[in-house]
Structures are given as structure tokens and as C-alpha cells.
Amino acid sequence: MAPTIELDGLEVQLGGRTILRSLTGVLDGRAIGLLGPNGAGKSTLINTILGFHTPSEGSVRVLGLDSRRDGKALRALVGYMPETDAFIAKMSGVRFVQYMAELSGLPTDQAMERAHEAFVYVGLGEARYRMVGTYSLGMKQLTKLAQAIAHGLRLLILDEPTNGLDPPARKRLLELICEIREASDICLLLSSHLLRDVEETCDQVLILRDGRIASICNLAEERRTKRKFLEMETCGAEPVFASALQGLGCECALFGNGRMKVVLPDAVEIRDVYKVAAERGVQIRRMNQRRDSLEDIFLNAMEQSGGSNGRI
């Protein structure tokens, strides 16, 4: 089975500016989170996958199909839930979803049947004949999900799906996303500023920074290992201290001004860290022990110079 997404030296230029730079990597998770600060290139990558932007160099393959060469066949297999609303306000919800399914290639009768099924699935069966313009924000988000899944897709792209939702509506939408992931063969690509949404729904994460890949992380593996690490502020010979800790099997990252992060293997205890510090004449001014989380992975990727693929 082909990987969900393959990036091979992908570069995209818009308006004479290079937005995506030499993206190379394989994303084979069932549910992939797309993270990065504003301007990192997330929307550009999504639009390139959908065929709206043409790569200036390299390629992106989705489900084995090249976005440039196989655009029409690829779009037939992709459902897209955009961040911004694009409704026809005076059209009923079910008619709107039918219309979108027809645009995806379904015959009229089959599109209407799928539209009804999709509305019932997302929990809006009783509201499907109302005009879309009368819907609440939560109902509009569910309608966007319904139109994205109505046509028989293989990849569901979700751009900020819980944006603006209250806690109950957010919980309901995330439950639907998890249900789609678990109960079907549909792959997910979820872009969000909310790390918690990605952590709850995804098993792999792509982090972009300044148009480059900062990290590709397997969250399922991270959850299994549950690595423990220390955040420290030190005073003294930090490089020597870090080298000594690496000799014990630790992974270290230095961030300047005495700040460092240390991943502890199972055989190393905190007392061993204090012992090494004392032997090297290093003062530990602050220490915080934590379990690895997506927030830590994201912040570390942002702090690494040049947005490299390395992480601790």
C-alpha cells in the first residue's frame, strides 16, 4: 500500500517568493497532524496537495498519485474541509452537500443519497432541509465535514476543524474525526493550531517552520515509549556536562543561557544527573521533570536552529 503522502524535494513559489523549500519525507500514518506557526507553509502545502499550486521543483505524491500529473484522479479521492466558510446561504444543507458531491464526480441521484447519509452521520439529520444560512457555527462546521466525506474518499483533509467551537461542539467533532479514523480505511491530514486536537486524533505529525520540515514525529511510538526528560537551567561548563550525560546514554539539547533538555533512559535516575553535575562543577539552578508531549516536540522543533529534522 502506498504511503499517505510522499514529499520529494518539494518546492513551491508564489508571487516570486519561495514558500515551501526542499520538503522531503514520507508520511505513512493513518492520521497525520500538520503543525507550524503562522506563515510556516501549512496552507500552501494543503493547496499543493489539492493541485491548486504547482510545484516549482520536486513533487508530492498522495496515495501513490502525483499531484501534478494525476490531479483529477487525486481530487476524486480527497475530501476537503476548509477553514473558511464557502456556503450558498439560501440552499438547504442537504442540497448543498449533494451539489458538492456532484462536483466531486457522483451522479445526481447517488450524490443526493450520499448527502442524506452524510448529514445523518454527522448528527444533523433533522436540520438537513433548513437553509445553510440559518445554521449555527457548530452546525456549519459539521456541514463542512458532511460535504467532505459524502463522495467516497480515501484522504480527508481537515483545516482548523474545531476553530471557534465551544467545548461540547469541539468534543463532538473530534469524536467524529476519531470514529472516521478507526471505523474506515480513510486517512486523515489535520492542520490545527490546537496541539491538543492533533494529539487526540493523530498518530504522526509533520511540523513546518519557515517553509521547511522542522520535524516528522511518530506519535504512536512516542505514546508507547513515554519518554521522560528534564528541563534544566544550569551554570557552569554546559557542553562538558552534556557530554558526560550523553556518556550515560542520555540525549541532550542545549538552548543557550544555561538552558538544556535531557532525555533520560530507563537506567538513569535524577540522582545520577546531580552526581555528574557535582563532578563537573556545574550548578543546577532549576530542574523540571516531565513526560514527553506534543507541545514539547513542537517547541523543540521551533527552537532548533535552521528547522532541522533533529529532535530530542
What's the pLDDT tens digit per position in 181-233?
998 889 999 999 889 999 999 999 999 999 999 999 888 777 666 667 888 99
Say which DSSP state 283 is in: E
What's the pLDDT tens digit per position in 126-161?
999 999 999 999 999 999 999 999 998 999 999 999
**DSSP E strands, the chain:** 5-14, 17-27, 31-35, 57-62, 65-66, 78-81, 155-159, 187-191, 204-209, 212-218, 228-235, 251-254, 259-264, 283-291
The upper half-sphere exposure of residue 175, i.e. CA atoms within 13 Å in the direction of its Cβ, equals 9
Q: Is residue 291 very low, low, confident or very high in pLDDT (cuts 50, 70, 90)?
A: low
For the full predicted model, state whether its pTM sits above 0.85. no
Cβ–Cβ under 8 Å, residues 46 and 123? no
Whether the pLDDT of residue 49 is over 90: the answer is yes
Q: Which residues contact 86 (CB under 8 A, 6 or more apart)?
A: none
- Looking at the chain, the whole-number percentage of residues with pLDDT higher than 70 is 94
> Which residue did the predictor score with more confidence, 215 or 303?
215
Whether the pLDDT of residue 98 is over 70: the answer is yes
Whole-Å CA distances, 106 to 22, 96, 99, 151: 36, 14, 9, 7
pLDDT of residue 305: 41
Cβ–Cβ under 8 Å, residues 255 and 261? yes
- Grid cell locating 148: 467532505
- Looking at the chain, the whole-number percentage of residues with pLDDT higher than 90 is 67
- Grid cell locating 69: 500529473
Candidate ranges 131-135, 258-262, 292-296; pick with highest mean pLDDT: 131-135
Whether the pLDDT of residue 306 is over 60: the answer is no
Q: Is residue 278 very low, low, confident or very high in pLDDT (cuts 50, 70, 90)?
A: very high
What's the pLDDT tens digit per position in 12-32?
999 989 999 999 999 999 999
Whether the pLDDT of residue 166 is over 70: the answer is yes
- The sheet carrying 155-159 orders its strands as 78-81, 155-159, 187-191, 31-35, 204-209, 212-218
pLDDT of residue 308: 39
For residue 195, which phi and psi values (nearest 5 degrees)? -60, -35
pLDDT of residue 75: 85
Whether the pLDDT of residue 72 is over 90: the answer is no
Q: In a 3-state reduction of DSSP, which class is residue 265?
A: coil
Which is nearest to 236 in space by CA: 307, 284, 290, 168?
284
> Which residue did the predictor score with more confidence, 109 or 292?
109
Burial of 253 (0-12, 13-18, 19+ CB in 10 A): middle
String of DSSP letters for 216-237: EEEHHHHHHH--EEEEEEEES-
Task: Determine how many CB atoms are found less than 10 A away from the CB of residue 292.
Answer: 20
Q: In a 3-state reduction of DSSP, which class is residue 3?
A: coil
Rounded to the nearest integer, the mean pLDDT of the chain is 89
Candidate ranges 104-108, 222-226, 304-308; pick with highest mean pLDDT: 104-108
Question: Could you tell me the domains of the chain?
Answer: 5-222 (3.40.50.300), 227-291 (3.30.70.270)
pLDDT of residue 1: 64
Q: What type of residue is 234?
A: T
Antiparallel, parallel or unpaired: β 17-27 and 65-66:
unpaired
- Grid cell locating 7: 514529499
